[in-house]
A and B are shown apart, each in its own frame.
Chain A
Amino acid sequence: MQIDVQTVNIEQKNQTFTHLKKRFGDKKIPSRYQEASYDLQAVENLHYRPTWAPEQELYDPNLSKIRMNDWYDLKDPRQFYYSTYTLNRAKQQETMESNFKTVESLNLIEGMPDPVLAIAQNLLIPLRHASYAANINNTLVCGYGYGTVFTQPCVYHAMDNLGIAQYLSRLGLMIGDVEALEAAKQDWMDSDAWQPLRRSLEDLMCVRDPVEVFIKQNFVLDGLLYPLVYQRIVDQNLVEQGGSGISILTQFMTNWYLESKRWVDSVLKTMAAESAENKVVLEEWVDTAANHFTSVLLPVAGLAVEGNQADELVSEAHDELLQRAKKAGLFK
């Protein structure tokens, strides 16, 4: 029986779920982000210890050196839950789809000067492997981090990184077919310029502290790599040299970096503000990783620009990263 119930006025018993009422009161109707994110992870009466590491708990905040009184303080300023996340990305992929079509229909690749194509080949395509590492690293943070508001965006970030690796692969296929991907993988495995980065990522894939992985991958490495490669080399140098087609095909990466760094910065800031002890640990991670990855990225930048300029670009990116760190409350 379908009844016409639209007109009834009935009083509500509960404005919200109890766990949300405890956190936010019940004056306001909770947002869908709040309903989808807070207190979803089991916290008590975990039944068994992991057989893979019996010294750990099934959900274990002590896997990290970082301590939070409440991990649910680490909320995502984008307020991404599955629905808002996919709707956003679907819109972006539509844009990317039409970007690929535009580049194809205008024959932008064929009209591109050889040096530009060479840079795309040598610098961009191998980065698909780096994005895969970022996918794996974020999957670890999602799996082993503590508290849904911290771990949830990491699965989105992991899938984004896979998406980026796939966009880079399509770019490769467009400029040089399967051979372009093969050559890029060869470079990734063997060429001198890429070895420091590959080694560092293999090292990072051995780290098991979820927050350390988060900071080193998402704040430090991506915080250097994206401004350096996409904002400076692609969107400035390549565009000046007639490579706007490339810039169109990496638009997702540029926008994604700007969007997601708001989240990464906010996590860093909240963790640093939590305690002096956290701040010390975070400063040590950021400081060593920033110095390390800066030197690692120097030969990578050298694939696109002359030595002096590479130095300059990399140190600009480094300064920018330290500015972000300071804004987040570190190093003061």
Chain B
Amino acid sequence: MDIKKTPKKLNVKEKYRLMTRDLAWEPSYRDEKEIYPYVDYEGIKVHDWSKWEDPFRLTMDAYWKYQAEKERKYYAIIDAHAQNNGHLNVTDARYLTAIKLFLQGISPAEYASHRGFARVGREFAGVGPQVACQMQSIDEIRHAQTQVHAMSNYNKFYNGFKDFASQRDRIWYNSVPRSFFDDAMSAGPFEFLIAIGFSFEYVLTNLLFVPFMSGAAYNGDMATCTFGFSAQSDEARHMTLGLECIKFMLEQDPDNIPIVQKWIDKWFWRGCRLLTLVAAMMDYMLPKRVMSWREAWNIYGVENGNALFRDLARYGIKPPMHWDDVEKSIDHTSHQIMLGLYQWKFGTAFHSWTPTASDIEWLKEKYPTTFEKYYLPRWEYAIAQKEAGGEYNNFGLPKLCQVCQLPTLFTEPDDPTQLCHRETDYEGEKYHFCSDGCQHVFEQEPEKYVQAWLPMPALMQEPLKGDLAAWMEWVSLEPTAAGEYASSEDKANFEKWRKQVSTD
């Protein structure tokens, strides 16, 4: 038997093909449809799965090796951070609000992404996308875990971290990211990839991670900034996957183009609504600011977005439907959201505050056409109330948008003095929306969005029946975790500990 041969030199691409593509086979005992039952129902046509270009060529041995090196470094740094009371290095305790939001809202999203990618890594009928998605799945559980481990030390000293698990499922503002990821996961495999792989990871991820990670770096939070850096090379892989999957769909069949366009329109809008929370974080929650939301949007939204959609134009893809509305909202949303969070601060597991004099100067400079005119008067009113010994709270319940689940607190794109509110009747019920974008999403798929769990009506129904104290217990919100920053235990403790340090 002659099987001894001198091996040919294989190039990377060919070798990777043998290590992945070639592992699968065409089933002959069972129908492909039985093995991959969910691959058709969205209407995406795939004629040839082998046309999938592997976005990165990483075999498992290389993956283990690289990732282990990163893990070693990461845990060495956060161990040192915990040991050395690194939390006292942050600028001041206002900064903690940003990472409380991160742990409650983003880390659960990383986890959802892990499960979602496992599902699509199972459902696609081609081994190329299967393996690429599985790798993203295992990366995403890494992100969720490294984040929880980094926050674990902050939880030892501050309020608002400890019950992120119940708050993920129960507290009102977390249903914004939750409903976003639930929406993607309950969609079919192709839509999931457009939602998370393309729209979120490729188009919007820089608007989420750059602000948080540079915010962490500017404000002395070594733990958060380390997981940001450590996740960067994973993110680079995820972005190439996102781009590859959209190109693959568009190239497989012209009938796919309108379907993909519809998803881009939807997920771009959904993503931008979700990012309004990041906008508030950037403009209001960082004691030392990195850049304004407007500046971040110009770089990562407009510049990158224009280049991307110019590139996709050759497939017949147009820029997202509500792009102009987003553009018009950029100078407004952070102020609107922060004013909202501030007036409902009795119901948030993080603190908020009114801007200081220097904050106000900065906001005026960064938002010359909007801040002073529309939002400063409202902040001044809140500040005056506080100075008179009152509290600026709104115990009226916000009306939530049926789609994005944010309170309907945004204004008309062309008239910042008018609150924007839309309604649609569906099967005898009235549904409310914050915008044309959200109303449009609803009307494409009303049977899906009528199912949304809305936390505010839930508060009014059995068994809470509007009892705020009972609600706080149910969402596991201790009064010390909520409310005004100035009078918070976090602030007092942080300042006391810092003083201890400087007098020692």
Contacts and interface: CB of A to CB of B under 8 A. Distances in A.
A8 interface: yes
A32 B141 CA distance: 14
Interface string A220-246: 000000000000000000000000000
For the side of the interface on B, what is the size category?
Answer: 35 or more
A14 B156 contact: yes
Given A151-B115, A166-B60, A45 B169 contact: yes
Interface stretch (A34-42, A263-271, A289-297, A305-313): A34-42
B452 A48 contact: yes
B24 interface: yes
B501 A83 contact: no
Contacts of B159: 13
A177 B504 contact: no
A47 B220 CA distance: 37
B59 A166 contact: yes
Nearest to B478: A18
Given A35-B152, A177-B8, A199-B29, A18 B162 contact: yes
A202 B7 contact: no
Contact of B71 (A10, A16, A35, A82): A82
Interface residues of A, number: 99
Which of A2, A52, A117, A165 has the most C-beta atoms of chain B within 10 angstroms of its own C-beta?
A52
A17 B30 contact: no
A100 B22 CA distance: 21
B161 to A, nearest CB: 7
Decide if the interface of chain B is mainly helix, strand, loop or mixed. Answer: helix
B230 to A, nearest CB: 11
B470 to A, nearest CB: 16
B4 A117 contact: yes
Nearest to A96: B61
Contact of B504 (A8, A81, A136): A8
Given A15-B156, A90-B64, A82 B145 contact: yes
A19 interface: yes
Given A83-B145, A143-B118, A205-B35, A47 B179 contact: yes
A19 to B, nearest CB: 4
Interface stretch (A181-189, A280-288, A314-322, A323-331): A181-189
Interface string B236-260: 0000000000000000000000000
Given A8-B88, A206-B34, A152 B141 contact: yes
B85 interface: yes
Given A32-B149, A93-B65, A129-B23, A83 B85 contact: no
Given A48-B183, A118-B1, A159 B500 contact: no
A219 interface: no
Interface in B4-33: 4-8, 10, 18-20, 22-25, 27-30
Given A17-B165, A36-B149, A8 B497 contact: yes
A50 interface: yes
Interface string A161-172: 011011101100
Given A13-B158, A82-B141, A45 B453 contact: yes
Given A5-B86, A82-B145, A139-B121, A109 B4 contact: yes
B476 interface: yes
A69 interface: no
Contact of B155 (A7, A14, A46): A14
B67 interface: yes
Given A4-B501, A136-B130, A178 B8 contact: yes
A19 B122 contact: no
A40 B68 contact: no
B186 interface: yes
Interface in B174-229: 175, 178-179, 182-183, 185-188, 220
Contacts of A18: 162-163, 165-166, 476
Contacts of A301: none
B356 interface: no
5 contacts: A13-B159, A42-B108, A83-B142, A155-B134, A162-B60
